[in-house]
């Protein structure tokens, strides 16, 4: 039976109407209230030749790789926007290599269509670059109205997302980006189904370039030595998500029960969960210290609750074993590849669909342990403590694997240069 689909004009009218109600409410949202003035254009955006939108931390790291490699022949003003305070913290530490790049940072305006029309007019970019899956209708429509090229870099699209886009295919076709560089063949096929094959090509994932760069950088031979005593066994629970906090809490109690000398580094994915974790651990009478309050190395059983951004990689380098969150519940997983660059064989749950582009080969080489539940995760972590693997060998094996995937940053920079010249 034929079901009539609303026209793009009607869909956009509804979208604009919903934003009128959402914007005032977002003033009270934990994350969105930060930078609210910039998000509502109370603070004007600067003019820029290139506007890059990076949603949060993962996308901000990709932008860092691009800015370290981009070498324009002429002066280039680059505006980078993000949606989260954590993404902003990463971007503030980025220093472009090229002296020709002038970098400006702002929170991305809300996608209310009139906001985006004004934002695009303020910036007046020659090119807009969207990292991974930043497909916002208001932004894309404003770029179409301004005849501004839009390039998706490191594009990813899940099967579920594709089905959602295809339900409104006519609408999304009117907003199609100029160029799409998808991070894998599977992602490319999905983008092609929505926007057309002529716009879509494949690149290798920039995240491999970043992993290789950070793995080969000169690093401190005694990471976090001012935080954790040298002979204390240390386990990292990295990038834990709010939906799995109950299970992580059970893991913590079990790990400390089986190994009373253990120090656990708990790195929540979102900083606004710090106070919730404090209450949770204190309620269970688990010894707790905030990372920011440590003045001398921890030498006895405790949980260090990490309330500083940017130290997870150092935590992996110091750790004897690691679990990576977002994987015990159907959340798609968090970045377990970073642990491997530190020579660890990370433990993850069965949910890792956000990293399907890695492929099964990495599991066949036993570089990652997959478990079915938190009890199995505890057992594997305890085994890693008792029989530690050779970090140097693990790191070397992973680097050999990643070398086969490098080159995405060069592809992205070439595309940006070509589109700017055109």
User: DSSP string covering 318-346, please?
Assistant: H-SEEEESSTTTTS-----HHHHHTT---
- Locate 106 and state its tokens: 């702002």
What's the chain's average pLDDT?
93
pLDDT tens digits, one per residue of 375-414: 999 999 999 999 988 999 998 888 888 888 899 999 999 9
Total residues found in the chain within this entry: 422
Task: Read off the pLDDT of residues 330-359 as tens digits, 9 standing for 90 and up.
Answer: 999 999 999 999 999 999 999 998 888 787
Q: What is the pTM of this model?
A: 0.82
pLDDT at 223 over 90: no
Segment among 99-103, 142-146, 148-152, 223-227 with least mean pLDDT:
223-227
In the predicted model, is pLDDT for residue 101 greater than 90?
yes
Would you kindly state where each structural domain of the chain is located, as residue ranges? 16-204+407-421, 221-396
**Helix, strand or coil, per DSSP, at residue 154:** strand
Tens digit of each residue's pLDDT (9 = 90 or more) over 64-88? 999 999 999 999 999 999 999 989 9
Confidence of residue 218 (pLDDT cuts 50, 70, 90): low
Percent of the chain exceeding pLDDT 90 equals: 80
> What pLDDT, on a 0 to 100 scale, did the predictor assign at position 357?
78
∠ CA(180), CA(154), CA(130), 5° rounding?
Answer: 65
Q: Give the pLDDT confidence of 274-296 residue by residue, as tens digits.
A: 999 999 999 988 999 999 999 99
Q: Does domain 221-396 have CATH number 3.40.228.10?
A: no
pLDDT for residue 246: 93
2 pLDDT exceeds 50? no
Domain over 16-204+407-421 is classified CATH 3.40.50.11720: yes
Which pLDDT score is estimated for 1? Answer: 45
Q: Mean pLDDT over residues 50-54, rounded?
A: 98
Confidence of residue 219 (pLDDT cuts 50, 70, 90): low
Sequence-separated (6 or more) residues with CB below 8 Å from residue 175? 135, 137, 140, 141, 144
Q: Does 16-204+407-421 match 221-396 in CATH topology?
A: yes
Cα angle for residues 323, 326, 329 (degrees, 5° grid): 110
The tens digit of pLDDT for each residue in 149-170 reads 999 999 999 898 999 999 999 9
């Amino acid at each position: 039976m034929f079901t009539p689909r609303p026209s793009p004009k009607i869909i956009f009218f509804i979208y604009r109407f919903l934003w009128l109600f959402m914007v005032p409410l977002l003033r009270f949202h934990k994350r969105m209230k930060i930078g609210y003035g910039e998000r509502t254009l109370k603070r004007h955006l600067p003019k820029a030749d290139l506007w890059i939108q990076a949603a949060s931390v993962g996308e901000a790291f990709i932008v860092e790789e691009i800015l370290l490699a981009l070498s324009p022949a002429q002066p280039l003003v680059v505006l980078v926007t993000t949606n989260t305070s954590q993404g902003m913290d990463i971007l503030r530490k980025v220093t472009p290599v090229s002296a020709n790049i002038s970098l400006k940072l702002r929170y991305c305006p809300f996608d209310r269509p009139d906001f985006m029309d004004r934002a695009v007019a303020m910036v007046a970019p020659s090119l807009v670059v969207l990292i991974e899956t930043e497909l916002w209708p208001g932004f894309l429509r404003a770029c179409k109205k301004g005849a501004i090229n839009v390039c998706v870099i490191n594009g990813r699209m899940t099967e579920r997302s594709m089905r959602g886009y295809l339900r409104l295919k006519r609408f999304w076709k009117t907003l199609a980006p100029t160029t799409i560089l998808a991070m894998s063949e599977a992602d490319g096929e999905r983008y092609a189904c929505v926007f057309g094959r002529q716009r879509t090509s494949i690149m290798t994932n920039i995240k491999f370039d970043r992993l290789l760069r950070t793995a080969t950088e000169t690093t401190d031979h005694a990471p976090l030595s001012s935080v954790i005593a040298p002979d204390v066994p240390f386990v990292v629970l990295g990038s834990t998500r709010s939906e799995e906090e109950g299970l992580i809490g059970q893991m913590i109690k079990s790990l400390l029960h089986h190994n009373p000398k253990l120090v656990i580094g708990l790195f929540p994915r979102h900083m606004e969960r710090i106070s919730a974790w404090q209450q949770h651990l204190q309620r269970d009478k688990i010894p707790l210290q905030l990372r920011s309050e440590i003045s001398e190395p921890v030498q006895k059983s405790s949980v260090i609750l990490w309330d500083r951004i940017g130290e997870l990689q150092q935590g992996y380098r110091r750790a004897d074993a690691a679990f990576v969150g977002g994987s015990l519940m159907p959340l798609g997983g968090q970045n377990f590849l970073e642990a491997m660059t530190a020579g660890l064989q990370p433990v993850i749950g069965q949910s890792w669909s956000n990293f399907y582009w890695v492929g099964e080969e990495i599991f066949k080489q036993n570089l990652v342990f997959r478990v079915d539940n938190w009890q199995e995760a505890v057992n594997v972590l305890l085994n890693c403590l008792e029989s530690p693997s050779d970090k140097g060998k693990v790191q070397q094996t992973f680097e050999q694997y990643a070398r086969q995937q490098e080159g995405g940053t060069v592809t992205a920079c070439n595309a940006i240069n070509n589109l700017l010249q055109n």
